[in-house]
Structure 1
Amino acid sequence: MKLLLMFLFFVPLVLADLQLGFYNSTCPQAESIIRAVVQKRFKSDPSITAALLRMHFHDCFVRGCDASILIDSTKNASSEKAAGPNLTVRGFEIIDEAKASLERQCPSIVSCADIITLATKDAVVLAGGPNYAVPTGRRDGLVSNELDVNLPGPTDTIPQAFDAFTAKGLTLNDMVTLLGAHTVGVAHCGFFRDRLFNFQGTGAPDPSMDPILRARLIRICGTRSRPLSKDPTAFLDQNTSFIFDNQYYNQLLMKRGIMQIDQELSLDGSTSGIVSSFGSDGAGFLTKFANAMVKLGSIEVLVGNAGEIRKNCGVFNPPV
């Protein structure tokens, strides 16, 4: 695995009422405690980078970055975890381990929302991605409802996906940049199987997919649909699957995108130029990604006295 340079990017001292070093006086070891947990897991499982990126995105896109995705369902209420798009989200135990360590060191100080954001950054860095400063001070939300989950999907068109990103205050460039997180991770065959055999009901494969890639994916996925728990997966970046780099975009330019939304980025006139630019400028992509992640992490955050600081990330605090 080739070594990649790591870049340190700077952000304003205050962003959306978040602050760099928010815990410096109340829990000075907070960021190092979280980093140690992520480093330990990454050594045995480098796929956690993709898992945490997905968790962070799915959290911020529903009720803002408030850790509502971490709440467990009860017999009386189905939380965001129960929603279809979140059934394959994983890595919750990493957040729980970090929270337990923080509660021993400085109880009721560090929010679960900040743990998600910091852990995601740490995992990106470990995979060779940009090292960027993360403003903190988020508080945890008080609502988690399965019916609130309405995320951009793998078969969305570019305009459909852009509508979802625009609703969160993100730009077209932000969207193309953040989808670059697909440079790590996998997708279940069920999310792209129609592209192999019956694209959009045509009875034929998606003509925008490289035939050699299609043949490989058929070997991985088979010809029959399977339950999600038994559904095989394929790497979203077939080249440097565990390295956070710009090769995802070069794969798209070679018609080797796995999911329809990915390949559409290189085909749609509004986004194809951005894909080409990132494909030829890896350092430029890393810079833009760092900035976009800071922006993503500031979506609809709760600060000050809003929300709460959970003692257990999977459960709302009991009424006082």
Structure 2
Amino acid sequence: MVRESGARTTGYAALAMTVVLWSSFALSSRAIGTSSLTDTDAALIRFLVPLVVLAPLVPRTVRALARERTTTLLLLLAGGLPHYLVMALGAGLTNAGLTGLLVPGTVPLFVTLLLVRRQRVPARGLLALGAIVAGILASATLVGTDGGATGIVLLVSAGGIWAFYTLGLQRTGLAPLEVVVTVCAISALGGLALALTGAVPAHLLTSPGEVRVGDVLGFVVLQGVGTGLLSTLCYVHAVRVLGSSVAAVGGALSPVLTALAAVPLFGETLGGGMVVALALVVAGVHVFNRTPPVPRTTRAAWPAARGPLPAPVALVHAAEARP
């Protein structure tokens, strides 16, 4: 009994740390525009740091990739550099509160649309998705941002891209850390290619003297180590100890923490429109996570993967343990 209680304590601690790390990801992404780094610089730090730490796993990952379908690999890679750059652009045009809310909050909606022919959503789940859509509309009409609708469209698009990555997680036979290595390696190579060809600005490569050391260290800690490694480990531990339902519901608190932290950090206001959008999306995600879709057939939706597929109740944040 004591051991079980201690395990649950560590589970809740891991879940709390996960929520903080997810919030720090949204907050630090919003801070790119006020730093000496470009979006590409931040992306390179984000993907290179985990890759360096997990370098011993590269040979094993390369061998495992030989068994992967090309389509599955493309789905996984969507969650790397494409998602990061679209989200960073959207974050720069809106605010941290919306970044932390719209990107993970729209994932269940897009996953449901992508799997509409394979699964049936109960009435309660449809109501939850309706609340998410209402929250998106509320954010677009009631929350003022410098970038107007463009930033919101980009953030919602980032949520859609993450939904493709989520489906890739369901299809892949790669182990979790092999997914991290794959996505980080190819995303880092893609970022370097864009920077070296001059397609996008990258101060780290073209004018390193303009980059502040403190900015680099901050992103190494918050995104490279925090998001790239620790959030994955903490979330996996929380799911194993507490179950996916508790972990997913706890994860829904991340947008709330992000919006509250953005007030003192960036001087953002938590106005009525933001409160309405938060309430609708968070409530929708919570209810949807508690109402898993039902497969339309008894056949497996995807080819068998190594290990269990992500539980439907964790569709939003099982993938949010970012690679």
Q: TM over 0.5, yes or no?
A: no
TM-score by length of 1: 0.28
Which structure dedicates a bigger proportion of its chain to helix?
2
TM-score by length of 2: 0.28
Higher RCO by CA contacts (8 Å cutoff, separation 6 or greater) = 2
